[in-house]
């Protein structure tokens, strides 16, 4: 099953341990993650379910492209990594 | 607002929430706690009804969060942050210029007490939200959001418009006014169920001539209500200073403010609605203090005359700018505080005659508020 992990920066604000979860798209895998860790959802997605502006998702080291529907495919052995885009200040 | 003085300041900054307390009647002000060091705090509010403290985080990457503390910041718990519902199926809302208007809370910009123990929250994004109490959950105030006039709003300095001022009538908490950058001033007499626009007399010099007096696009930077005379409101507007004596429907321009009529912040004496303070700056592209001198301007006669107060404030090569929420007066009307984007913080114990600098090294300051007095 796909493995989900997060930038350590997010762990400063909310508990977000690594998990192995079912799913064949970014949406499915993240939905499964948020079922286990509901507080993490609002840190990754906005209230309309889109990826937050400054959050990026990598699937197998490749940046996912569909920021609204999160339809990028996830393979059985993919690593899904959620990190923040870089910003200043 | 209570008429008692407050010995505690809440300073919201780009890098944390600072609690600053006065140690005894003649003691010095000192920072006694820093919460959320490193995180941007857009607003804090201390609810005098139950003593709870709220801190609004704006985590650049991870969105808006709301924290609550029952012990003045020793312990915090994350509570629900206001959020928009899903828009109606198939509806893509746009601004008047065709750009998309997402239903998204970008920042918490105002927190105030509502009727019946509730809370109001104004946001950048344009939504006004109400909590029945304690911030356990939030509901979009549909009466304002669905008002056709809301569609005319646009951002002032931010991409999205924002509700920055929520002025609840202390005599009747079901009466309130909110002010929007850029969207005028709106009034409700039924606890936020229905709204009407009222910004007559304001003018927007930056708009084309035919829209200059359009009430629904006015860039009110900050509006405050006089607790002792709730029909008296003061507004620091993008194009000047205005006063209303009829609960915010009609506004009279106050043109003689020295050294300038531009600025962001305004405070009104809770015990005397004729007394108000401003922190003027050079309009509008430069936004620095006039002649590099930080001053506070005060009227005691409803705006007929103004005194420029400078004692204790830097008067040479000073470029501190005070944002709209970064000036406050306590319940006594004697103690004031203001902070700047360059991290300076000043307090006055005598209604602004003399100022004491508490720091010049804080992070950029977004909001300065007195906590409610200790019971």
Mean pLDDT by 10 residues, chain A (89 residues): 93 94 97 97 95 90 91 95 71
Report the C-alpha gap between B117 and B134 in whole angstroms: 8
Tens-place pLDDT, residues B159-174: 899 999 999 999 999 9
The more confident residue out of B3 and B5 is B5
Report angle CA B366, B367, B369 to the nearest 5 degrees. 165
* Structure confidence at residue B368 as a pLDDT band (50, 70, 90): very high
**Mean pLDDT in residue range B134-155:** 95
Task: List the end-to-end C-alpha distance of chain A, in Å, as a whole number.
Answer: 38
* Residue B4 confidence (pLDDT): 76
| Residue B182: Cβ-neighbour burial (10 angstroms; 0-12, 13-18, 19+) | buried
Flag whether residue B15 sits within 8 Å of chain A, measured between CB atoms. Answer: no
**Mean pLDDT in residue range B307-334:** 97
Residue B308 pairs with which residues in a beta bridge?
B297
Closest approach of A84 to chain B, Cα-based (Å): 6
Query: Chain B contacts of A87, Cβ < 8 Å?
Result: 60-61
Of A10, A48, A89, the CB nearest to B62: A10
Q: Is the pLDDT of residue B200 over 50?
A: yes
Query: Chain A contacts of B65, Cβ < 8 Å?
Result: 13, 42
Strand A79-84 and strand A3-6: pairing?
A: parallel
Q: Do A54 and B60 touch (CB under 8 A)?
A: yes
Q: Give the nearest chain A residue to B104 (CA atoms).
A: A47
Contacts of B273 (CB under 8 A, 6+ apart): B226, B228, B229, B232, B302
Report the C-alpha gap between B14 and B38 in whole angstroms: 7
Of B14, B63, B86, the CB nearest to A52: B63
DSSP state of B170: T
**Mean pLDDT in residue range B200-213:** 87
Which ipTM was obtained for this model?
0.75
Query: Chain B contacts of A48, Cβ < 8 Å?
Result: 84, 86-87, 102-104
Report the C-alpha gap between B338 and B262 in whole angstroms: 17
Q: Is the pLDDT of residue B1 over 50?
A: no
* Residue A89 confidence (pLDDT): 47
Of B14, B62, B104, the CB nearest to A48: B104
**Mean pLDDT in residue range B327-352:** 97
Closest approach of A61 to chain B, Cα-based (Å): 20
Tens-place pLDDT, residues B123-143: 999 999 999 988 999 999 999
Q: Is the pLDDT of residue B39 over 90?
A: yes
Of B14, B60, B84, the CB nearest to A47: B84
User: A14-49 burial string, b = 16+ CB within 10 Å, else e?
Assistant: bebeebebebebbbbbbbbbeeebeebbbbbbbbee
* Residue B280 confidence (pLDDT): 93
Query: Chain B contacts of A88, Cβ < 8 Å?
Result: none
Strand order in the sheet with B296-299: B266-269, B272-278, B296-299, B307-309
Report angle CA B289, B165, B252 to the nearest 5 degrees. 70
Q: Is the pLDDT of residue B342 over 50?
A: yes
H or E element: which one contains A41?
helix A41-44
* Structure confidence at residue B194 as a pLDDT band (50, 70, 90): very high
Query: Chain B contacts of A67, Cβ < 8 Å?
Result: none
Find which of A47, A53, A55 to mutate to test the B interface (most B CBs within 10 Å of its CB).
Answer: A47
Q: Do A42 and B14 touch (CB under 8 A)?
A: no
Q: Is the pLDDT of residue B217 over 50?
A: yes
Strand B365-370 and strand B8-13: pairing?
A: antiparallel
Query: Chain A contacts of B105, Cβ < 8 Å?
Result: 47
Q: Is the pLDDT of residue B181 over 60?
A: yes
To the nearest whole percent, how much of chain B has pLDDT over 70? 98
E strands present in B245-349:
252-254, 266-269, 272-278, 296-299, 307-309, 327-329, 336-339, 345-348
Report the C-alpha gap between B234 and B324 in whole angstroms: 13
The more confident residue out of B275 and B133 is B275
**Mean pLDDT in residue range B225-250:** 97
**Whose structure tokens read 């000192």?**
B30
């Amino acid at each position: 099953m796909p493995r989900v992990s997060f930038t350590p920066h997010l762990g400063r604000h909310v508990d977000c341990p690594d998990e192995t979860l079912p799913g064949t798209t970014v949406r499915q895998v993240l939905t499964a993650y948020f079922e286990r860790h509901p507080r993490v959802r609002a840190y990754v997605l906005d209230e309309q379910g889109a990826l937050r502006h400054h959050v990026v998702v990598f699937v197998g080291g490749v940046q996912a492209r569909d920021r609204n529907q999160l339809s990028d495919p996830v393979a059985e052995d993919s690593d899904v990594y959620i990190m923040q885009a870089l910003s200043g200040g | 607002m209570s008429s008692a003085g407050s010995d505690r300041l809440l300073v919201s900054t780009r890098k944390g929430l600072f609690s600053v307390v006065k140690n005894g009647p003649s003691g010095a002000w000192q920072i006694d706690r820093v919460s959320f060091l490193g995180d941007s705090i857009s607003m804090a509010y201390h609810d005098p009804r139950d003593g709870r403290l709220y801190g609004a985080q704006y985590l650049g990457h991870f969105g808006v969060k709301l924290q609550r503390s029952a012990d003045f910041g020793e312990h915090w718990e994350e509570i629900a942050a206001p959020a928009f519902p899903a828009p109606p199926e198939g509806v893509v809302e746009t601004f008047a210029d065709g750009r998309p208007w997402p239903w998204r809370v970008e920042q918490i910009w105002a927190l105030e007490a509502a009727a019946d123990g509730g809370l109001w929250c104004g946001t950048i994004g344009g939504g006004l939200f109400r909590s029945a109490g304690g911030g356990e959950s939030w509901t979009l105030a549909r009466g304002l959001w669905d008002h056709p006039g809301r569609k005319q709003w646009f951002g002032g300095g931010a991409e999205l418009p924002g509700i920055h001022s929520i002025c609840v009538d202390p005599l009747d908490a079901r009466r309130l006014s909110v002010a929007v950058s850029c969207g005028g001033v709106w009034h409700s007499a039924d606890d936020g169920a229905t709204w009407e626009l009222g910004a007559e007399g304001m003018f927007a010099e930056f708009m084309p001539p035919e829209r200059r007096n359009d009430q629904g696009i006015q860039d009110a930077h900050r509006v405050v209500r006089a607790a002792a005379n709730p029909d008296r409101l003061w507004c620091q507007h993008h194009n000047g200073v205005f006063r209303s004596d009829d609960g915010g429907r009609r506004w009279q321009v106050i043109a003689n403010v020295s050294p300038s009529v531009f600025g962001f912040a305004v405070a009104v004496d809770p015990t005397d609605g004729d007394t108000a303070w401003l922190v003027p700056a050079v309009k509008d592209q430069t936004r620095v203090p006039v002649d590099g001198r930080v001053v506070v301007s005060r009227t005691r006669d409803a705006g007929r005359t103004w005194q420029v107060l400078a004692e204790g404030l830097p008067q040479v090569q000073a470029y501190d700018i005070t944002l709209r929420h970064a000036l406050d007066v306590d319940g006594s009307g004697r103690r004031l505080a203001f902070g700047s984007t360059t991290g300076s913080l000043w307090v006055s114990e005598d209604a602004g005659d003399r100022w004491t600098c508490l720091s010049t090294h804080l992070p950029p300051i977004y909001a300065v508020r007195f906590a409610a007095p200790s019971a």
